[in-house]
Amino acid sequence: MKRREDLRNIAIIAHVDHGKTTLVDKLLHQSGTFRANEQVSERAMDSNDLERERGITILAKNTAINFKDKRINIMDTPGHADFGGEVERIMKMVDGVLLVVDAYEGCMPQTRFVLKKALEQKLTPIVVVNKIDRDFARPLEVIDEVIDLFIDLGAEEDQLEFPVVFASALQGTASLDPEKQDEDMTALLDTILETIPAPVDNSEEPLQFQVTMLDYNDYLGRIGIGRVFRGTIKVGQQVSLMKLDGSVKKFRVTKLFGFLGLKRIEIEEAKSGDLIAVSGMEEINVGETVCPEGQEEALPILRIDEPTLKMTFLVNNSPFAGREGKYVTSRKIEERLKSELETDVSLRVDNTDSPDVWTVSGRGELHLSILIENLRREGYELQVSKPEVIVREIEGKKCEPVERVQIDIPEEYTGAIMESLGDRKGEMLNMINNGSGQVRLEFLVPARGLIGYGTEFLTQTRGYGILNHTFDSYKPMAAGNVGGRRQGVLVSMENGKASQYGMMGVEDRGTLFVEPGTEVYEGMIVGEHTRENDITVNIVKVKQMTNMRSANKDQTVTMKKPRVMSLEESLEYLNDDEYCEITPESIRLRKKILDKNERERVTKKNKVK
């Protein structure tokens, strides 16, 4: 079998924050792909603002480097479970993977998830033990963990013969010896060339190109990114697009792009094994195959992960609607959601009976909160409801998504965490105490039990706990209520500005979410109650001015700091009768029914039912 020895296709996979993007960065720099005077930012592959701020990769990206007269195409994949759909499809484009594992943390839930996908595709693995320079690094134990994981996932014998490279992506060094590092990453690049199989060269046969990712460009329209599995594709060629529904569309290839460094380079032709981007097809979708006219033969359709979580998106109708946002109408919001579908294949947007309301389904809380954060940064105003899990019927039974949860905590908090996850119908799988005072727990927990659990977890572990979870499977629904918020809320009964005097009056009732001077409206949630019921409070009340008081009395009073919640925390916090109002400048929690009397009437009616 003829192979293209000048080419290698690899994906970098790992748990979130184990150093994939930094590793790609250093490979780009050291391979001489950038010019000496070229200005390149750190983590160059994380091109989007949110990726940079959070230090996570959201979208899979491809790049390529030249090393020893060979081209290495590298796919940098997300490590977070919510973007697992991206990882799965990328496995189809490559011949091998670099599994990056932290030299201290070892195998984490997402390591398991991404490795399982790679082994299912029969890809050749190289294990990179990264952060070898970390305090308490334990590289040899971590390799044992990785071997156990390979065996546990049913790896074949030849997959178990993987080479191991020890690296510090931050320092830009790698070696085959855990005790000492070489000066650069040549050891890793050499291992890639020696271990990863070169793509098969069948460029004489009829073309087969499959789309695995989408991009969108205002000038070129939709761009399909994927791999040429067979044959050759040229600019100007008339081809057939095999649609997912079985129909065939004809079109002409207007532009082809290859990748080098961070740039797309226009090319005239590509052949089997190349990873390229194709434009000229307006209606192209992930999983579709491009073939020559008259020789239509589709590749197997790619499986795209189904959404597991849904939320209701609404036009903002609060008393402050339209004050801060640029785009507030249903037409603008709908257009923006539809444009998101052009590139995000794991997202679903469904219309409802109302033109101002949509059901948006995604892969998890992070997936949807990233979309919401992007909308508010672009100037949109909207409201969203509490996230709900998507229940499916499997073999006549109602089933819900279950998450595999891994928790690392100091020993003394073990009891409290086991009890709280037990209340949320969690099933304990494993407990490892390595004698260092830290305990690792593994659970299977219904996804609805984890909604809103993050804050409780941090409180219970005083901020020392680390919680990771990834989708495991659909299982029959656990009986009864699972999870949810225990505490009631403090709801404003008036419109106006929060005053220090008004806030001092309700401080002992709970924790406030607003600062003095914040504008509030009737029905807006301004704090958390110490008990389980909601109460209305007046925090805009001002002190009556009389001359019967001491001059310095008011100045000696100190207030507790309010709790300011991020977007994710706000979404997790919501209850069924509440909305989160999101604008470019503010995140506010509110009751669906703002009027107190109307709210109480509806609550009573529901209790009677």
CATH number of 7-195: 3.40.50.300
Q: What is the assigned CATH class of domain 313-389?
A: alpha beta
The 10s digit of each residue's pLDDT in 328-368 is 888 998 988 888 877 777 788 898 888 889 999 887 777 78
Binding site as annotated, residues: 17-22, 130-133
551-554-557 Cα angle (round to 5): 140
Binding site as annotated, residues for GTP: 17-22, 130-133
The 10s digit of each residue's pLDDT in 534-579 is 888 888 888 776 655 554 555 556 777 888 888 878 888 888 888 9
The 10s digit of each residue's pLDDT in 191-243 is 888 888 888 888 888 888 888 877 776 677 777 888 888 888 888 888 888 87
* Neighbour-count burial of 104, counting CB atoms closer than 10 A to its CB (0-12 exposed, 13-18 middle, 19+ buried): middle
The two structure tokens encoding residue 509? 């009732």
Among candidates 143, 14, 19, 138, which has minimal Cα distance to 77? 14
Indicate the residue type of 231: G
Range from 49-53, 61-65, 116-120, 384-388 carrying the lowest mean pLDDT: 49-53
The stretch 481-510 carries a mean pLDDT of 82
The 10s digit of each residue's pLDDT in 147-169 is 888 888 887 888 788 888 888 87
Q: What is the number of alpha carbons within 13 Å of residue 369 lying toward its C-beta? A: 19
**The pLDDT of residue 414 is above 80:** yes
What's residue 33's pLDDT?
53
Best CATH choice for the domain 392-476 from the list 3.30.70.240, 3.90.1150.10, 3.20.20.80, 3.90.730.10: 3.30.70.240
Regarding pTM above 0.75, the answer is no
Give the CATH H-level superfamily of domain 480-547+556-564: bipa protein (2.40.50.250)
CATH 3.90.190.10 fits 208-292, yes or no: no
How far apart, in whole angstroms, are the C-alpha atoms of residue 469 and residue 492?
Answer: 36
Q: What is the DSSP string of 20-53?
A: HHHHHHHHHHHTT-S-TT----TTTT--SHHHHH
Residue ranges, comma separated, of all CATH 2.40.30.10 domains in the chain are 208-292
Compare 34 and 126 and report the one with higher pLDDT: 126
Evaluate whether 285 touches 214 at the Cβ level (below 8 Å): yes
What values do phi and psi take at 405, rounded to 5? -110, 130
**The pLDDT of residue 48 is above 80:** no
What's residue 86's pLDDT?
65
What's residue 36's pLDDT?
41
Q: What is the mean pLDDT of the chain?
A: 79
The stretch 164-186 carries a mean pLDDT of 81
Residue ranges, comma separated, of all CATH 3.30.70.240 domains in the chain are 392-476
How far apart, in whole angstroms, are the C-alpha atoms of residue 507 and residue 505?
Answer: 6
Tokens 């990179």, residue located: 128
**The pLDDT of residue 592 is above 60:** yes
Residue ranges, comma separated, of all CATH 3.40.50.300 domains in the chain are 7-195
Residue ranges, comma separated, of all CATH 3.30.70.870 domains in the chain are 313-389
Among candidates 74, 154, 59, 61, which has minimal Cα distance to 112? 154
Evaluate whether 336 touches 378 at the Cβ level (below 8 Å): yes
Beta-bridge partners for 428: 443
Q: What is the DSSP string of 269-283?
A: EEETT-EEEEES-TT
